[in-house]
């Protein structure tokens, strides 16, 4: 009888040991499947348990239901975002023609018959009209670049040369603001996978941001890190926090009131959109009164 009990205990222990090992393996596979699903939410996949277990299967039913709801919300958000982009594009297109006409009439007005006060008022109206024209253009560009149909023509682009040329183009404006400019860019070619026009637009928007908000200095640096090329723009930004820096690429975000003079808050958003379309990244960091914007692209091999 004792031997029978011992054998039964051994068999029971072996069974529970096997069951535990099997369940651990099944849970591990389920976790891996959940990680894959979280990376590709668009695919209509569900979690399954390879080993029968009532309680865990009930848990998976709840998780699958939550995944279904998340997918539905994601699809609804995508539809609304696409519709918003189409509306912005249509509105921008409708505003372009009358704005162009208004600016044209303002340009041909005979200023000689106007008083000095009226001439000053006309200059203000023209400046506001040009800003509105620029804003409409940025709305249109953002809707176009962020759309699913826009794909940049990625090719072999010498980013070192393009960065030097862009800095030279903006140098008079940088110098006019009294900025001390320190440039550290490789002399030879450094090729990345990018669309030349899109990359030029990214660099221009970053430098426009510096021209508006930098106070005393600008450091332009380019480094290669393995298969990546990293471009950093560092300028003084007194009082800016890390949280504010992290929000600079949000649509219409301009931080405090001092950052909204003559700006729409879309330039950096467009820059990030284009960088990501080319397979790169762009982010901002703030520390000890300095703002660092970091653009990362893949080298062309």
**CATH 3.30.565.10 fits domain 155-298:** yes
pLDDT in tens, 132-191: 887 888 778 877 887 777 888 889 999 999 999 999 998 888 888 888 888 888 888 899
Give percent above pLDDT 70 in the chain: 86
- 296 has a pLDDT exceeding 90: yes
- 261 has a pLDDT exceeding 60: no
pLDDT in tens, 106-120: 888 777 777 888 888
Most confident of 77-91, 94-108, 264-278: 264-278
Lowest mean pLDDT among 14-28, 197-211, 275-289: 14-28
What is the crossing angle of helices 267-277 and 116-145, to 10°? 20
Quick one: which of 155, 162, 134 has its CA closest to 231? 162
Decide if 246 contacts 209 (C-beta within 8 A). no
Lowest mean pLDDT among 36-45, 64-73, 198-207, 240-249: 36-45
* Burial (Cβ within 10 Å: 0-12, 13-18, ≥19) of residue 113: exposed
Calpha distance 197→201 (Å, rounded)? 6
pLDDT of residue 42: 66
User: In this structure, what token pair is assigned to residue 4?
Assistant: 């029978």
Spell out the domain ranges in the chain.
Answer: 2-76, 87-145, 155-298
Say whether 155-298 and 87-145 share the same fold. Answer: no
Calpha distance 204→60 (Å, rounded)? 50
Calpha distance 221→184 (Å, rounded)? 5
Question: If pLDDT is split at 50, 70 and 90, which confidence band does 19 have?
Answer: low
pLDDT of residue 259: 46
Quick one: which of 214, 272, 231, 277 has its CA closest to 248? 272
Q: Higher-confidence residue: 3 or 292? A: 292
Calpha distance 114→119 (Å, rounded)? 6
Angle subtended at Cα 153 by Cα 148 and Cα 155, rounded to the nearest 5 degrees: 140
Calpha distance 50→66 (Å, rounded)? 20
Decide if 160 contacts 203 (C-beta within 8 A). no
Lowest mean pLDDT among 40-49, 213-222, 268-277: 40-49
DSSP state of 113: G
Decide if 99 contacts 132 (C-beta within 8 A). yes
- 213 has a pLDDT exceeding 90: no
pLDDT of residue 176: 82
With a CB cutoff of 8 Å and minimum separation 6, the contacts of 288 are none
pLDDT in tens, 87-110: 777 777 777 788 888 888 888 877
Decide if 257 contacts 235 (C-beta within 8 A). no
pLDDT (average), residues 195-216: 87
Indicate the SS3 state at residue 221.
strand
Looking at 2.40.50, 1.10.287, 3.90.1310, 3.30.110, the CATH number of the domain 87-145 comes to 1.10.287
Quick one: which of 288, 295, 294, 285 has its CA closest to 247? 285
User: In this structure, what token pair is assigned to residue 44?
Assistant: 């209509």
pLDDT (average), residues 72-84: 78
With a CB cutoff of 8 Å and minimum separation 6, the contacts of 263 are 212, 254
């Amino acid at each position: 009888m004792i031997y029978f009990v011992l054998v039964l205990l051994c068999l029971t222990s072996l069974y529970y040991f096997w069951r535990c090992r099997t369940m651990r393996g099944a849970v591990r596979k389920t976790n891996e499947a959940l990680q894959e699903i979280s990376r590709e939410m668009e695919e209509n996949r569900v979690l399954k348990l390879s080993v029968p277990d009532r309680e865990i299967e009930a848990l998976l039913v709840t998780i699958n239901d939550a995944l279904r709801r998340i997918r539905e919300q994601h699809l609804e958000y995508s539809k609304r975002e696409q519709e918003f982009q189409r509306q912005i594009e249509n509105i921008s297109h409708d505003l372009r023609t009358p704005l162009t006409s208004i600016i044209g009439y303002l340009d041909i007005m005979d200023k000689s018959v106007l008083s000095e006060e009226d001439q000053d008022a006309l200059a203000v109206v023209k400046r506001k009209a040009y800003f509105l024209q620029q804003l409409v253009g940025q709305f249109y560009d953002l809707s176009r670049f962020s759309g699913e149909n826009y794909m940049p023509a990625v090719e072999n682009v010498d980013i070192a040369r393009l960065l030097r040329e862009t800095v030279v183009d903006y140098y008079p404006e940088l110098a006019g603001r009294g900025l001390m400019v320190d440039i550290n860019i490789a002399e030879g070619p450094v090729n990345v996978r990018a669309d030349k026009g899109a990359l030029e637009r990214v660099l221009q928007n970053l430098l426009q941001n510096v021209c508006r908000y930098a106070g005393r200095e600008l450091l332009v640096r380019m480094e290669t890190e393995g298969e990546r090329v990293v471009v950093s723009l560092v300028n003084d930004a007194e009082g800016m926090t890390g949280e504010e820096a992290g929000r600079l690429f949000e649509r219409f975000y301009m931080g405090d009131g001092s950052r909204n003079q003559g700006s729409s808050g879309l330039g950096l958003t467009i820059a990030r959109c284009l960088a990501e379309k080319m397979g790169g990244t762009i982010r901002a960091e703030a520390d000890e009164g300095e703002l660092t914007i970091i653009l990362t692209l893949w080298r062309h091999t």
